[in-house]
């Protein structure tokens, strides 16, 4: 940080959500509110916060349907969803009202246990920090497979044969990275099965459409369109994606729409031994479902995600 640099010199901004200055000052205008954990009686969902990696401060907000009892083992196990919020790798939080409310609705509709990840944000923690944090959370989840992990909600309530990852926008990029790493690394999974992945309005790149400015700001060491972290289509490891089902969701008016289609088409031709499907919502823009969650298209998207996680 240069003490002679004033806060008026902007390094990068993504208005109306985020602004960073050349002297290191960061202003976030979205995702900074904190909703207390609670039991939502109307939705039938409880939430709690858990510190996962004390050394880095990585934590998560857990969501549990009311149908699960954390004190008994005599009940049906539920799928587990590992969710990564969007925000251009620079803003957003599982604790803010937007994501807390959306995960509550998704858990209620899908009847799953969810772990909404609070990964470290750029620019204070440049990429690949968010990818590393998120994979650490997957390893933490796996540690509960034998019912001996540190979190009772996971020990008692989860069917580890039905684990899913999902995310929106930049969070979809993180979800892909986690699923891919799970396919190429030995996690000691045992009976844990990463069954599916949902990428909602993903922030990917291609040779034709390079990374957004947010990517270059969040990942200063990137090589741009040739970076497989943001352009999965050039990654020779893509056929090893560590799940058997993928759902890509795009929106007609979204500037990132074509990137989602490119991922869908490339994955389908990659030799990956799985099933990929795509859902395009007409007349909507990027992450519309987060900001207008009660509209008909948002309800339909929620139902599709819930159905995806409840397929046999």
How many CB atoms sit inside 10 A of residue 107's CB? Answer: 28
CA distance to 173, 220, 251, 268, 301, per residue, from 233 (Å) = 12, 21, 20, 11, 25
Domains of the chain (ranges; CATH) run: 1-27 (no CATH), 31-309 (3.40.50.1820)
Note down pLDDT in tens along the chain; length 312 residues. 444 555 589 999 999 999 999 999 999 999 999 999 988 888 899 999 999 999 999 999 999 998 665 554 546 799 999 999 999 999 999 999 999 999 999 999 999 999 999 999 999 999 999 999 999 999 999 999 989 899 999 998 899 999 999 999 999 999 999 999 999 986 666 678 899 999 999 999 998 999 999 999 999 999 999 999 999 999 999 999 999 999 999 999 999 999 999 999 999 999 999 999 999 999 999 999 999 999 999 999 999 999 999 986
234-248 residue pLDDT tens: 999 999 999 999 999
Give the Cα separation of 48 and 51 in Å (integer): 10
161-171 residue pLDDT tens: 999 999 999 99
Give the Cα separation of 9 and 259 in Å (integer): 32
How many CB atoms sit inside 10 A of residue 284's CB? Answer: 20
Give the Cα separation of 93 and 109 in Å (integer): 21
Identify the three-state secondary structure at position 135: helix
Give helix 170-184 / helix 129-142 axis angle, nearest 10°.
Answer: 60
| Tokens encoding 301 | 């998207």
Give the residue numbers marked as catalytic.
169, 254, 286
């Amino acid at each position: 940080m240069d003490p002679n640099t004033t806060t008026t010199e902007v390094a990068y901004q993504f208005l109306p959500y985020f602004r960073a200055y050349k002297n290191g000052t960061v202003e976030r205008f979205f995702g900074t509110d904190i909703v207390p954990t609670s039991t939502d009686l109307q939705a039938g969902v409880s939430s709690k916060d858990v510190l996962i990696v004390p050394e880095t401060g990585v934590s998560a907000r857990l969501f549990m349907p009311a149908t699960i009892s954390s004190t008994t083992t005599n009940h049906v196990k539920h799928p587990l969803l590992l969710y990564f919020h969007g925000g251009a790798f620079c803003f957003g939080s599982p604790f803010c009202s937007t994501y807390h409310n959306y995960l509550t609705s998704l858990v209620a509709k899908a009847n799953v246990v969810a772990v909404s990840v609070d990964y470290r944000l750029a620019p204070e923690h440049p990429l690949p920090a968010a990818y590393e944090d998120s994979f650490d959370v997957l390893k933490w989840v796996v540690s509960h497979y034998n019912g001996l992990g540190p979190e009772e909600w996971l020990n008692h309530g989860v069917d580890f044969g039905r684990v899913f990852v999902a995310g929106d926008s930049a969070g979809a990029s993180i979800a892909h990275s986690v699923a891919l790493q799970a396919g190429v690394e030995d996690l000691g999974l045992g009976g844990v099965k990463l069954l599916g992945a949902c990428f909602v309005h993903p922030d990917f790149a291609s040779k034709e459409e390079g990374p957004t400015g947010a990517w270059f700001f969040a990942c200063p060491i990137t090589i741009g369109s040739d970076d497989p972290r943001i352009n999965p289509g050039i990654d020779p490891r893509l056929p090893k994606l560590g799940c058997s089902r993928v759902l890509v969701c795009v929106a007609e008016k979204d500037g990132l729409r074509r990137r989602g289609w490119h991922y869908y088409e490339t994955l389908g031709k990659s030799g990956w031994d799985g099933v990929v499907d795509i859902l395009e919502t007409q007349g909507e823009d990027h992450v519309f479902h987060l900001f207008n969650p009660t509209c008909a298209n948002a309800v339909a998207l929620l139902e599709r995600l819930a159905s995806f996680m409840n397929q046999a």
